[in-house]
């Protein structure tokens, strides 16, 4: 970095907070009901009444983007949280207990990791049927091994450090050592990776919805909007343009945040 990581960090953090705030307060932020149809003003371009225009049913695109953002972010965040919990726990347990526990846990994760992400996600949704919950489950499953692998490495180093040995020698329980001594030291890794993986999870969720496997219409979802808007590209491209731009914006903000955080928190890169 060339001397201004804090400005960039501020920008990325600001953008992320803004996006999350819009998603959380969607019902209050959105100017219209995202499902309210208005046959008279269909497929209109941006105007004072409808800032981003209207879709094929005369629904307000801005309101649908805002609610779609809420759905996409909600599904992705839930999925990443579950993946962090399951994958992270397995990675920690593997690093702490070593031996057969480690071998079995990491092998199982390797096997899931061997599937191309989208393909396994599609397979899981094929089994469970399309919808928001199956999408969240699918993303949680495919992301678990990523967290397990990411956390195992640093956890191994910490588990062999002197202070963990000391804690063990004074008779601290395994749970206490993991929770009090290992976990806090992984906070920065977790923060960086959660931010980066949330960004890619949003892209996966949008792809699945785009394929018709995720959130089902008429519920607003960015991927579904893009897929529907595609059919009206010649008449009125606004729905496709803005829903995709919103996906890019969220994924970009979260990815940049993770990226800048990594530069800021990683002491090896800081002094470079």
Partner 1 sequence: MRLLRTRLIELVVVLFGISIITFLMIRLIPGDAVAIMLGANTEVTPERVAELRASLGLDKPILVQYVDWLAGAMTGDLGVSIWTRRPVIEEIGAHVWPTVQLTVFALVLGAGLALPLGVLMARLRGQGWDVVLQIGSVAGLTIPSFWLGIMMILALTVLAPGVQMLGYVPFSEDPLGNLARLLLPSIALALPILANLARLTRSAMLDALQQDYIRTARAKGVSERSILFKHALRNALIPFVTSVGIMAGYLLGGAIVIEQVFAIPGLGRLILGAIAERNYPLVQATILVVTVAFVLINFVVDLLYAIIDPRVRH
* Minimum CB–partner distance for residue 169 and partner 1 (Å): 35
**Segments of the chain assigned E as strands:** none
28, 31, 36, 39: CA torsion to nearest 10:
180
Shortest distance (Å) from residue 56 CB to partner 1 = 16
Is the link from the previous residue into 218 a cis peptide, with omega within 30 of 0? yes
Among 2-10, 22-30, 62-70, 143-151, the segment contacting partner 1 (CB under 8 A): 2-10
Q: Which is nearer to partner 1, 158 or 207 (CB)?
A: 207
For partner 1, give the closer residue by CB, 126 or 165: 126
The Cα–Cα gap between 217 and 214 comes to 9
Name the segment binding partner 1 (CB under 8 A); options: 25-33, 67-75, 166-174, 244-252. Answer: 244-252
- Among 13, 154, 237, 264, which residue interacts with partner 1 (rule: CB under 8 A)? 237
For the segment 7-36, give every residue that binds partner 1 (CB under 8 A): 8
φ, ψ (nearest 5 deg) of residue 54: -130, 160
> Running DSSP on this structure, what letter comes out for residue 50?
S
End-to-end C-alpha distance for the chain, whole angstroms: 9
Shortest reach from residue 232's CB to partner 1, in Å: 11
Instruction: Out of 13, 43, 89, 118, name the contact with partner 1 by CB under 8 A.
Output: 118
114 makes contact with partner 1 (CB under 8 A) = yes
Q: Please report whether residue 136 would count as binding partner 1 according to CB under 8 A.
A: no
- Contacts of 260-269 with CB under 8 Å at 24 or more apart are 260/5, 260/8, 260/9, 260/12, 261/9, 261/12, 261/188, 261/191, 261/192, 261/195, 262/192, 262/196, 263/1, 263/5, 264/5, 264/6, 264/9, 265/188, 265/191, 265/192, 266/188, 266/192
Question: Quick one: 30 or 226, whose CB is closer to partner 1?
Answer: 226
- Binding residues for partner 1, rule: CB under 8 A, are 1-2, 4, 8, 107-108, 110-112, 114-120, 122-123, 125-128, 199, 203, 206-207, 210-213, 226, 230, 233-234, 237, 240-241, 244-245, 247-248, 251-252, 255-256, 259-260
């Amino acid at each position: 970095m060339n001397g201004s990581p804090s400005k960039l960090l501020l920008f990325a953090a600001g953008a992320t907070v803004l996006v999350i705030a819009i998603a959380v307060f969607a019902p209050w932020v959105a100017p219209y009901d995202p499902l309210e149809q208005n046959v008279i003003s269909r497929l209109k371009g941006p105007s004072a009444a409808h800032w981003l225009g209207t879709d094929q049913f005369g629904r307000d695109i801005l309101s649908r983007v805002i609610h779609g953002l809420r759905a996409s972010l909600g599904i992705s965040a839930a999925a990443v949280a579950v993946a962090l919990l399951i994958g992270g726990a397995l990675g920690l347990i593997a690093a702490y207990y070593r031996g057969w526990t480690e071998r079995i846990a990491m092998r199982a994760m390797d096997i899931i990791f061997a599937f191309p992400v989208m393909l396994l996600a599609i397979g899981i949704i094929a089994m469970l049927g399309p919808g928001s919950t199956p999408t969240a489950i699918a993303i949680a499953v495919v992301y678990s091994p990523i967290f397990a692998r990411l956390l195992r490495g640093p956890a191994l180093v910490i588990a062999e450090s002197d202070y963990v040995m000391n804690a063990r020698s004074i008779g601290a329980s395994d749970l206490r050592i993991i929770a009090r001594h290992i976990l806090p030291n992984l906070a920065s890794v977790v923060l960086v990776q959660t931010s980066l993986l949330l960004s890619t999870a949003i892209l996966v969720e949008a792809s699945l919805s785009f394929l018709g496997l995720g959130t089902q219409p008429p519920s607003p979802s960015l991927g579904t909007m893009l897929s529907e808007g595609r059919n009206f590209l010649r008449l009125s491209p606004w729905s496709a343009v803005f829903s995709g731009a919103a996906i890019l914006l969220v994924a970009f903000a979260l990815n940049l945040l993770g990226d800048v955080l990594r530069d800021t928190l990683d002491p090896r890169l800081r002094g470079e």
